[in-house]
Amino acid sequence: MKDWLHSVRALVWKDLLQEWRSKDMLTAMFAFAILTLFIFNYAIELSPVNRAEIASGIIWVVIVFAGTLGLNRSFTSEQDQGCFDALVMAVPDVSAIYFGKMLTNWLVMLFVSLLILPIYSLLYNQSLFNAGFILVLVLGAWCYSAAGTLIAGMTVQTRMRDLLLPILLFPILMPVNMAVVKAAGGILAGAPLVNVQAWLVLLAAYGIIVTTVSILVFEYVIRE
Amino acid sequence: MSLAIRQVSKSFGQHHVLNSLDLELKPGELLCLLGRNGAGKTTLLRILTGLLRPEAGSVWLENQQIDYAEPHARHDIGLVMHQPFLYEHLTGIENLRFYARLYQVADDKTALEAASARVGMQRFAHKPVRAYSRGMKQRLTIARALLHSPRILLLDEPYTGLDLQGSQTFNQLMLEQKQQGRIILMTTHDLSHALPISSRFAFLARGRVSDELTNQNLSLENIETWLAQKLAKPVSAQKGAAA
Phi/psi of residue B48, each to 5°? -65, -25
Q: Say if residue B12 is in the same domain as residue B72.
A: yes
Residues of A in Cβ contact (< 8 Å) with B85: 81-83, 85-86
Among A25-29, A63-67, B233-237, the minimum mean pLDDT is found in B233-237
Note whether B243 and B167 are same-domain residues: yes
Question: What is the pLDDT, as a whole number, of residue A136?
Answer: 93
The CATH number for B227's domain is: 3.40.50.300
Q: What is the pLDDT of residues A13-43, one digit of tens each?
A: 999 999 999 888 888 888 989 999 888 888 8
Q: Does position B146 have pLDDT exceeding 80, yes or no?
A: yes
Residue B9 clears pLDDT 60, i.e. is over it = yes
Ranges A7-21, B11-25, B54-68, B191-205: which has the least confidence: B54-68
Tens of pLDDT along B178-189?
A: 999 999 999 998
Please report which confidence band the pLDDT of residue B242 belongs to, taking 50, 70 and 90 as the band edges: very low
Same domain, B118 and B169: no
Lowest mean pLDDT among A77-81, A102-106, A109-113, B168-172: A77-81
Q: According to the model, what pLDDT value does residue B74 have? A: 84
**B36-51 per-position pLDDT tens digit:** 888 889 999 999 988 8
Distance from the B162 Cα atom to the nearest Cα atom in chain A, whole angstroms: 18
Pick the more confident residue, A6 or B62. A6
Domain boundary among B149, B176, B204: B149
Quick check: is B210 in a domain? yes
Q: Say what the ipTM of the complex is.
A: 0.85
My answer on whether B70 and B11 are in the same domain is yes
- What does pLDDT average to over chain A? 89
The whole domain housing B219 covers 1-76+163-243
Q: How many CB pairs under 8 A join A and B?
A: 78
Question: What was the pLDDT predicted at A99?
Answer: 96
| Neighboring chain B residues of A14 at a CB cutoff of 8 Å | 87, 90, 94, 98
Kindly report the pTM of this predicted structure.
0.87
Q: Look at residue B154 and tell me if it is in a domain.
A: no
* pLDDT at residue B51, as a whole number: 85
User: A81 or B148: whose pLDDT is higher?
Assistant: B148
Q: Based on the fold, state whether residues B63 and B174 are members of the same structural domain.
A: yes
pLDDT recorded at residue B243: 43
The residue among B97, B125, B149 that closes a domain is B149
* Whether residue B107 sits in one domain with residue B39: no
Contact residues on chain A for B52, CB-CB shorter than 8 A: 224
Same domain, B92 and B187: no
pLDDT over 90 for what percent of chain A? 43
Q: In the predicted model, what is the mean pLDDT of chain B?
A: 88
Give the confidence band of B237 by pLDDT, cuts at 50, 70, 90. Answer: low
User: Which of residues A41 and A144 earns the better pLDDT score?
Assistant: A144
pLDDT of residue B115: 87
Query: Are both B64 and B97 inside the same structural domain?
Result: no
Last residue in a domain, options B122, B149, B176:
B149
Overall domain count for chain B: 2
Q: Are residues B90 and B195 in the same domain?
A: no
The pLDDT score that the predictor gives to residue B44 is 93
Residues B36, B91 share a domain: no
Residue B122 lies in a domain: yes
Q: What is the pLDDT of residue A147?
A: 95
Is A79 near chain B, with CB under 8 Å?
Answer: no
Interchain CB distance below 8 Å, B85 and A86: yes
**B217 falls within a domain:** yes
pLDDT at A224: 55
